[in-house]
Structure 1
Amino acid sequence: MKRFKNIIKISSQQTATILAIVMFVLMSFTVTRDSKTTDNNFETVKNLDIFYTLYKELNLYYVDPIVPGDIIKTGIDAMLISLDPYTVYIPESKVEDLKFMTTGQYGGIGAVIRRKGDYTIIYQPYEGSPALEAGLLAGDIILEIDGKSTKDMPSEQVSELLRGEPETIVELKIERLGEEKPLDVEITRQEIKRNSVPYYGLIEDKIGYIALSSFTNTAGTEVKDALMDLKENHNIESVVLDLRGNPGGLLIEAVKICNMFVDKGELIVSTRGKVAQWDKEYTAFTEPVDTEMKIIVIVNSSSASASEIVAGCIQDLDRGIVLGQRTFGKGLVQTTRELSYNGILKVTTAKYYIPSGRCIQALDYTHRNEDGSVGHIPDSLITEFTTKNGRKVYDGGGVSPDVKIEIEKLSMITSSLIIKDFIFDYANFFKLNNPTISDVDEFKLTDKDFEDFISFISDKDFDYKTKTEQSLDELIEASKDEKYFEDAEEELNILKDKFAHDKEKDLRLFKDEILEQIAQEIILKYYHEKGAIMFGIKNDTEVAKAVELLKNENEYNLILQPKN
C-alpha cells in the first residue's frame, strides 16, 4: 500500500509536468510554418498521454525496480537519435561538457586521457597545465583518484572525477614506466583554456600558416591576432589556413573569420529552418583585414560544420583556393534551449547555405531507408550552383576542394604499430632515457634509434593482414561458396604462401614511414601540440602543394577562373 501511495504521488507530479509540456508544445506550434497545426497538436497531446500512461503502468507493474531518471533518459535519447545525431539532451551533470565545446574552458588538471587495458592513462598533459606542473607524464597509468580505484572504470567517468572547481585538489595514484612502486601525485585544479589556434608561423618567405583546430568563442580573435602578427612582423603576402580535423563549433566565429578576407556587407552564410523568425543572413559586419592576400584553405573529411562555412565561403566568393579532400558534409545548425532542472536541449533548428546558395549537408536524415539507416543525398537531387566568378559548384555532399590531394595511407604494419600503442610506448621509453632532445627544426632519428625500436618491440605480440592477404582470403571464401576451391586449392595455397607478409621484412621496407611516426610522437612528448604541428608541416604533402600554388601566381589565378 505504501508503494502504491508513492506511485500515486509521483504520478500526480508527472501529470503536472506533462500538462506543462503540452501547454508549451501547443504554444510553440503557433510560430511555425506548419499549416496542419491543429492535427499536429492533437497528435502531440495524444502521444504524450500514451507515453505518460505507459510509464505509469511500467512503474506499477514491472517485475524489478525502475530507476526513473535512467529509463526516461533512455527514451529521450532514442527519440532524439531517430531525428539526427546532433539533436541531443544534455542533463545538468553534462553541461560542463557543452561549456568546453563552446568556450574551450573547463576546470580540471589539463590532460588528454584515454583507456588502455583495464585502466585509463595520461595520453598527453597540456603545455603549462596543472598536470604537467605536477609532474604527470604521457603513459602514466591512473590507478586511483582520491582513493577510488579506476580499474575497469570508463574513461568518461575518470574524466568527470578529474574535473572540478578551480583551486580544488585531486589526489592521484599512478603507475609509471621505470618506477617500481606507484606514485602519489597531488594536483590543484585550474581553469583550463584550450586555444582554437594551437600554432601559427611562417612556412616560407612571405607565406604564413595558421592551424585552426576548433571554433570556440575566441576562434575569430585568435585567427585575427595570428594574421595581424604574421602581416606586421613577417610581411606575409599569402596564408595557408589549415582546417583539417576541425569538427566545427560556433557559426558566428566562422563568420568573423571569413569577414577578415571579404568586403564589408558581403553575404557569408544564411540559415533557414521551421521557425521563420529565426531565419538569418550573416554578412561581413566589420572592415576586413586583407581582401587581396592569397589564401589556401586545407580541408579533409573531418573538416565539418563551421569549417565548411569558412571553406565554402572562400570558395563561393572565389576569394581563395580550397585544397585537400572533400569535407564532412554537415550543413545543419543547432540551437541550445534551456530545460527544467538545468538541462539543455541542443536541437537542429535550421540548415545553412553558403554564398552561392547551396547547402552542403551530405546525409538525408529526413528520408531514411526502410531499415532506419541514413543515405547520402541522391545524385538526382544534387543541384549545380556557381561561384562569384562563374565556376560550377554543387550541393549535397560537403565542400569539394578545388585542388584534390589523395590522402596518403599508412602501410598495414605501421597502422598495426600505432593501434597496438607500440609507437606511443616507445616514445615514452625514449623520453625516459633522453631527458632532452634538439630543437624541433633539428630533431632527427638515426639508424641506431630505429634498431632500438626494433629491439623494443621484439618481444611484443602484434600482427596484421595486408590488403593483398585480405583480398586473397575473400577469394578463397568465394571459391568455397561457388564450389571451385577443391579444383584450385593447390594454386590458392601457393598464392597464400607467396603473399604472406613478413614482419621483419616489412619493418625494414617501411622504415622511413615508421621513423616519421615515431619522431612525431617523440616531438609531442617534448614540445607538445605546437611542436608536433611544427614538425609535421616539414613533411606535409598538402602544405607543400599549397606553398607551390601560392608561389605560382598564374596557376593560382587560373584555378579561380571558370572552365570552358
Structure 2
Amino acid sequence: MIRPTVNRFRSNKLILFLFVFLGLGTAFAFTFKNDKLFAIAKNLDIFASLIRELDSYYVDEINPDELISIGIQAMLEELDPYTEFIPEEEQDDFRMMTTGEYGGVGALIGNRIGTNMILMPYRGFPAHEAGLRIGDEILRVDSTDVTDRVTSEISRLLKGPANTGLTVEVKRGEDTLRFQLTRKKIVISNVPYYGMVDGKTGYIKLSDFTTNAAADVRNALTDLKAQGMEKLILDVRDNPGGILREAVEIVNLFIPKGKEVVRTIGKLQSVNTVYKTEKSPLDKDIDLVVLINERSASAAEIVAGALQDYDRAVLVGRKTFGKGLVQSTIPLSYNSQVKLTTAKYYIPSGRCIQAIDYSQKDEDGNGRSVADSLRNSFTTKNGRVVLDGGGIEPDESVESIIYAPITYSLVGRSLVFQYVNKFFLENKEIANPRSFQVTEDIYHDFVDWLGDKDYDYTTRVEKAIEDLEKFAEKEKYYEDIKNEIASLRKSVSHSKEQDLVTFKDEVKEALRDEIISRYYFQEGMVEGSLDNDPDVRVAMDLLKDKQLYAMKLNPRKQ
C-alpha cells in the first residue's frame, strides 16, 4: 500500500527536478543577458556621475563635450582602429570620404613649410577654373584671415552649399591675388588617369572605392577597348578601399555572372551575406595584371584577391595591407553615428586575409599579427596554393624602391616643392608628361638654388655607427675601439655635394614628378611615371610573354 505512494512521490520529485532544471537553464540564459545589461547600465551611471562631479568640483572649468568625446574615442580604440564615433559636426567629412562628394571649390590643401597652401586643384572644378595653382599660399577666405589657422579650419571655410560664392586671397611669389569662386558639387573620380601604355596595353589607375568606382572603371575600360586595347594593367596600389558593393561590381567586369566574390560573416545573422556577380562581364578573356602594394587595403584586396582566386589576373607588386574586416555605420542619438566592425570578409577560395588579430593584444595594447604557423592553405580555381591571415601575396614580387637619404631630405623638407614653385613661375609650359625630362640645365639650376638651403641628413651607415658607439659605451668597450669608430666615421662621412652627383637620377625623378604636377595635375603625375615604374615594367614583360603569363595562372599545365 505504501509502494505506490513512494513511487508517486519519486515521480513528482523527478518532475519537479526537471522543471527546476529547465527553469534554471532558461533563467541562466536570461540572467547572463540581464547581467550584461546591468553591467552596462551600472557603468553608464558611474560615468554620468563622474562627469557631474568633475563639472562641480574640478579646480578648473571643464568642457563636457570634449571630455566625453575623448572618453568615447579611448574606449573604441581598445577594439580596433576601424571602429570610430562620428559626431554630428563631422558628418559632412564622413559623407565625403564614403561618397567622394561634397560642396566646395575642388582643391586639396595642406601645410608646407609652415604655410597653408594649395597642393592640388582638381581639373574642371572651381579652384582650377578660377586660376588657383599649386603652391598658392592661402591668406584669407572671404573676410577671415587664415594665415594662423589649422588646415582643417580652412577646409571647412572653403566648403559649403553648391552655388554659393566666396573670395579667396592668396600669395603667389611676391604678388597677392584675389579670386572670386562659386562652390559646386564636387565629385572626385575614382580613376584619376587611364590610357594606353603602348599600342596594345591599357592602364587604369583606381585610387578609391567611393560611389561610382565601378562605373568609373567600366567607362575607362570601354574607352580603352575602343582604342584597340588587347591587354590591361589595373593599378590598385595605395588604394585604401571603400564601398564593398563597388568592389564586387569591378570584379564583375572580368568574371561571369553568378560567381561568388566575397562573403561577410559576423556575430549576427543579419550581417552574414554572400555577394555574387549579377551582370554579364565586360571582358572575361582579356589578359589582366593587377598591381598591388602594402597600402592596398580592404576593397582593393577584395578585387585583387577574388581575381587571383579565380585565376583571372596575375598580381604584381608587394603583399597587401591585410584588412579583412567589414564596417557598418549605425545611427546614434543627436545625429551622431558609430562606424563599427561587424564582420570579417572571405574571398572565393575561402580565405580571410585579415593580418592583425585585435582580440589578442600585446603588452603595448596593439593587436597581434597572425603567426605564419597559424596561416591556413587554400587553393585557387586552378589549384594554386594561397594563404589566409596576412594580406594578398603577389604572383610576381617586385621589391619596393629605397631612396637615398638625400632624396628623402630634399622632398621631406619641401625643397623640391619650393624650387618647382619658382620653376613654374618662370616657365609657362613643358612637354607632355610622357616626354618631359629634367635636363642638365634644370638640374644645375636646382643645385645652385640649394646653395644656401639647409638639407643636412644622416645616412643609414652613419646611423649604424652612432648605434655602434652607443652600444660600445653601454657595454664598456668604447675605450678599446674608439679609434676604429673615429676612423670609420671619417671614411663614411657623407658629402652633400657628392650625393647630389651620386644620386642625381633619383633626385631628377623627384623634380620631374613635382614639375609635371604643376602643369598636368594628378593625372599627369600618374601618366608621367609609367615609363619609369618598375611594377609597370614587370607587368608589361608578363603581358608580352603569353607563355609566362599563362604559367603564372596555371603552373600545373606547363
Q: CA deviation at 1:170?
A: 2.4
- Give the aligned partner of residue 15 of structure 2: none
1:559 counterpart = 2:544: no
Contact 2:120–2:522 at 8 Å: present in 1 too? no
1:59 counterpart = 2:55: yes
- Give the aligned partner of residue 474 of structure 2: 481
The alignment partner of 1:41 has SS state of helix
Q: AA paired with 2:357?
A: D
Q: Equivalent residues in 2 for 1:106-117 (5 A)?
A: 106-117=102-113
Q: CA deviation at 1:158?
A: 1.6
The alignment partner of 1:341 has SS state of coil
Listed one character per residue, the Cα deviations across residues 260-317 of structure 1 (whole Å, up to 9, x for unaligned) are 1111111100001111122000011111112111111101111000000000001111
Listed one character per residue, the Cα deviations across residues 340-369 of structure 1 (whole Å, up to 9, x for unaligned) are 221121111111001111111111111112
Q: CA deviation at 1:146?
A: 2.6
- Give the aligned partner of residue 213 of structure 1: 207
TM-score by length of 1: 0.91
1:358 counterpart = 2:354: no
Q: AA paired with 1:145?
A: V
CA distance in structure 1 between the aligned counterparts of 2:410 and 2:508, rounded to whole angstroms: 11
Contact 2:191–2:207 at 8 Å: present in 1 too? yes
Listed one character per residue, the Cα deviations across residues 518-550 of structure 1 (whole Å, up to 9, x for unaligned) are 111111100111111111001111101101101
1:120 counterpart = 2:120: no
Structure 1: gaps of 5 or more residues? 1-32
Q: AA paired with 1:56?
A: R
CA distance in structure 1 between the aligned counterparts of 2:309 and 2:437, rounded to whole angstroms: 42
Q: AA paired with 1:215?
A: F
- Give the aligned partner of residue 87 of structure 1: 83
- Give the aligned partner of residue 429 of structure 1: 422
- Give the aligned partner of residue 542 of structure 2: 549
* Matched-pair identity in %: 45
Contact 1:382–1:396 at 8 Å: present in 2 too? yes
The alignment partner of 1:432 has SS state of helix
The alignment partner of 1:457 has SS state of helix
Q: AA paired with 1:420?
A: R
Contact 2:113–2:413 at 8 Å: present in 1 too? no
1:242 counterpart = 2:242: no
Q: CA deviation at 1:135?
A: 2.2
- Give the aligned partner of residue 540 of structure 1: 533
CA distance in structure 2 between the aligned counterparts of 1:432 and 1:178, rounded to whole angstroms: 11
Q: Provide closer, same or farther for how the CA distance between residues 316 and 35 of structure 1 changes in structure 2, counting only shifts above 3 A.
A: farther
Detail structure 1 runs of 4+ shifted over 6 Å in the superposition. Answer: none
- Give the aligned partner of residue 134 of structure 1: 130
Choose which of 154, 158, 161 in structure 2 pairs with 1:162. Answer: 158
Listed one character per residue, the Cα deviations across residues 388-429 of structure 1 (whole Å, up to 9, x for unaligned) are 111111111110111110001111101110001111111111
1:464 counterpart = 2:457: yes
Q: CA deviation at 1:562?
A: 4.9
- Give the aligned partner of residue 450 of structure 1: 443
TM-score by length of 2: 0.92
- Give the aligned partner of residue 8 of structure 1: none
Q: Provide closer, same or farther for how the CA distance between residues 35 and 368 of structure 1 changes in structure 2, counting only shifts above 3 A.
A: farther
- Give the aligned partner of residue 185 of structure 2: 191
- Give the aligned partner of residue 149 of structure 2: 153
Q: Equivalent residues in 2 for 1:402-413 (5 A)?
A: 402-413=395-406
CA distance in structure 2 between the aligned counterparts of 1:36 and 1:321, rounded to whole angstroms: 51
CA distance in structure 2 between the aligned counterparts of 1:415 and 1:65, rounded to whole angstroms: 45
Aligned positions, number? 529
Listed one character per residue, the Cα deviations across residues 198-240 of structure 1 (whole Å, up to 9, x for unaligned) are 1111112221111000001100011111111212x22322211
Q: CA deviation at 1:35?
A: 11
Q: Provide closer, same or farther for how the CA distance between residues 486 and 275 of structure 1 changes in structure 2, counting only shifts above 3 A.
A: same
The alignment partner of 1:159 has SS state of helix
The alignment partner of 1:124 has SS state of strand
- Give the aligned partner of residue 226 of structure 1: 220
Q: CA deviation at 1:511?
A: 1.0
Contact 1:118–1:152 at 8 Å: present in 2 too? no
